[in-house]
Amino acid sequence: MEIKWLIDFLVLSSDRNFRVAAQQRNVSQPAFSRRIKALEAWIGASLIDRSGQPSQLTEAGKLFLPIAQEIVDLAETGKEQILRQVLEENQKIHFSTLGTLSHIFIPAWLKSLQPFIETTRFVVKTEYGTITDFITALEENCVDFFISYIDPKTGLLSDAPIFASLKLGEETLVPVASPNSDGTSRWWLPDRPQGPIPCLHTLSDGSPWPIKNHMEKTYSDLSFKSVYDSSIGTTLKEMAIEGFGLAWLPHTLVKDDLASGQLVRAAEPADDIIVDIKIYRCLSYKEPRVEKFWQALLKIETASSATP
């Protein structure tokens, strides 16, 4: 059974004339008649009394009429709902980023974009574990954009011609730890502490936090052991406050804790890591909503560069 057969039947039940109904349905009268017969064959009963003019509904036709109308109405309603949902989903911009950036950067940044973009629907994914996972999601179009902290001295391992990037801002990653009873840092890196120093990051090439290269160059004679890891800075901060280890955390996130003394610096400001906040896209993905969003970012960057 096809929905168009039901619509044919509803039109015919209203017009009571095969020729007029066929014209309304934009088909030839023979084709229209065949479709009505096909519906009757599917029902297993004659629906139209063709013995006179205008044609009349049979008793079976009268019984089936409200059922046909209900089926058509349900089909149209379902179609509209699905199309609306698909349209809304297609209008969303999908980002992947660190949990920390989703908390302390993304909301205000998106708000600042409102005068320049049309979409107001966003999805932010933070569930990827390694930098490779983030890049793979971008390459496979699981997300439209990837936003991350990037050490400008080393760049991103996966920087390649297939990606384009824009700098959105800067952040300072500060080495912090919980204080001793006298207010000094539990671990003070310039003193070159003996023994492994517990670190609240995964010190591997796959870590999305851009600290491994800095630690290897600045503290090559120190030993660190990873005791906890999370892409969510608020979690790392609480673990540091509880004394579980040392962490390089965004100054935006820990400035109040430094002021209150819940956290203290574990090294001089010269050892801070100045990182870029960058957004990446995959150039092979040409979806119009992605391209439109990217062009808006480019215009904003051009306007910012032109401002004295």
Q: Which two tokens stand for residue 105?
A: 């950067």
Question: What value does the mean pLDDT take over residues 112-123?
Answer: 83
Predicted confidence at residue 37, as pLDDT, reads 93
Nearest 5°: the CA angle 290, 292, 296 is 115
Predicted confidence at residue 107, as pLDDT, reads 93
pTM for the whole structure: 0.69
- Beta 93-97 vs 122-125: how paired, if at all? parallel
Q: Is the pLDDT of residue 194 over 70?
A: yes
Please give the Cα distance from 278 to 27 (Å, whole number): 58
Q: Is the pLDDT of residue 281 over 80?
A: yes
Which residue type is seen at 65? Answer: L
Q: What is the rounded average pLDDT for all residues in the chain?
A: 87
Please give the Cα distance from 100 to 149 (Å, whole number): 10
Per the CB < 8 A criterion, the answer to whether 108 and 157 are in contact is no
Long-range contacts formed by 105-113: CB under 8 A, 24+ apart: 105/147, 105/168, 105/169, 105/171, 105/252, 105/277, 106/147, 109/168, 109/169, 113/296, 113/297, 113/300
- Beta 48-49 vs 56-57: how paired, if at all? antiparallel
Predicted confidence at residue 305, as pLDDT, reads 65
Predicted confidence at residue 160, as pLDDT, reads 67
Predicted confidence at residue 308, as pLDDT, reads 56
Please give the Cα distance from 181 to 173 (Å, whole number): 25
Domains of the chain: 3-85 (1.10.10.10), 93-300 (3.40.190.290)
DSSP SS3 for 220: coil
Question: What value does the mean pLDDT take over residues 195-222?
Answer: 83
Question: What value does the mean pLDDT take over residues 222-248?
Answer: 90
Q: Of 48-62, 194-208, 267-281, which range is least confident?
A: 194-208
DSSP 92: P
Predicted confidence at residue 89, as pLDDT, reads 60
DSSP SS3 for 277: strand
Predicted confidence at residue 264, as pLDDT, reads 96
Q: Nearest to residue 119, comparing CAs of 81, 145, 82?
A: 145
